[in-house]
Amino acid sequence: MNRDIELSRALDSTALSEGVHKTRDDGMCAMELVAFLAGEQHTDHPDCACPVLTGYTIRLNDSMPEVWRRQLKPYLPLLIGSRDGREAERAALLAWQAVRVFMPIMLEACHMPEQAARFRSFQHGLDAAADASYAVYATIGNTPVSNRVANVARTVIMLTARAAYSAHCAGAARAPHMGRALDASDTADIAVSLTRVAEPATVWRLAIEALDEALAVGAEARAEKQAQRRREAATVEA
């Protein structure tokens, strides 16, 4: 059977499940399926995939309801070959998703429309975005919202500040912060928290759109490499 057809069938027939699995017979999460599609040993951290995208995808996979987890499947083949040295760029993109998309949703839930508008159009650097997030954190206690909403807001704001500052430092090649930025789970955790105060379907859709945007980084180069491998394989078979 043609390898591409075989992989397509495996992608279609595999039901994603949360968590890490000891063997493939026990099930597969999103990144374990990526490892399978790439021909790697069973793992949820395949060598072929960008660590930023891996961390983000794992957290979404483990937190999404099944109906939304299935929406990750079309993106999984695109993760193959994404370990290309552009991790800091993707970390910054996901941090901006937290600052300009998720933070405004949270602030609107706290009845802070002016602050929401400010973050939605934030034009300064990620380090400045982190500082601005910390400043907002101090004002949450003064908002007319329930303790539940206020607590979610504090979590979202702190995660946003951490994602922004870590991505800023990763972009500046400051090694102590690289690991935090490359994990990229903060932005996914923000989405998870937001589903407690905003429409979950909207939040999950935005989270998947962020994955799509992050995958676009380096996509042309990956597609060319894959096409080259197919041409080489066809030459060998001929």
10 DSSP assignment = H
Strand partners, 28: 16
Tell me if 14 is assigned to some domain.
yes
Q: Which residues neighbour 120 within 8 Å (Cβ) at sequence distance 6 or greater?
A: 100, 101, 104
Alpha-carbon dihedral 4, 10, 11, 15, rounded to 10 degrees: 180
Tell me if 109 is assigned to some domain.
yes
Mark whether 78 and 95 lie in a shared domain: no
Mark whether 71 and 125 lie in a shared domain: no
Tell me if 103 is assigned to some domain.
yes
Mark whether 76 and 115 lie in a shared domain: no
**Between residues 224 and 104, which one has the greater pLDDT?**
104
The mean pLDDT value for 127-155 works out to 94
Query: 227 pLDDT band (50/70/90 cuts)?
Result: confident
* pLDDT tens for each residue of 69-101: 999 999 999 999 999 989 989 999 999 999 999
Burial zone of 119 (CB within 10 Å; 0-12 exposed, 13-18 middle, 19+ buried): buried
Burial zone of 146 (CB within 10 Å; 0-12 exposed, 13-18 middle, 19+ buried): exposed
Mark whether 95 and 201 lie in a shared domain: yes
Mark whether 151 and 69 lie in a shared domain: no
Strand partners, 224: none
Q: For the chain, what percent of residues have pLDDT higher than 70?
A: 90
Tell me if 227 is assigned to some domain.
no
Mark whether 94 and 57 lie in a shared domain: no
Mark whether 205 and 112 lie in a shared domain: yes
Domain count, the chain: 2
Tell me if 165 is assigned to some domain.
yes
The mean pLDDT value for 92-113 works out to 97
* pLDDT tens for each residue of 32-65: 999 999 999 999 999 999 999 999 999 999 999 9
Which residue type does 226 have?
Q
pTM for the whole structure: 0.89
CA distance to 100, 157, 177, 234, per residue, from 92 (Å): 12, 17, 13, 38
Mark whether 157 and 181 lie in a shared domain: yes
Domain boundary among the residues 83, 109, 133 is at 83
Write out the residue range of the structural domain in which residue 39 sits.
3-83
Q: Which residues neighbour 169 within 8 Å (Cβ) at sequence distance 6 or greater?
A: 176, 177, 178, 181
Tell me if 223 is assigned to some domain.
no
Burial zone of 108 (CB within 10 Å; 0-12 exposed, 13-18 middle, 19+ buried): middle
Query: 182 pLDDT band (50/70/90 cuts)?
Result: low
The mean pLDDT value for 118-143 works out to 95
Mark whether 46 and 7 lie in a shared domain: yes
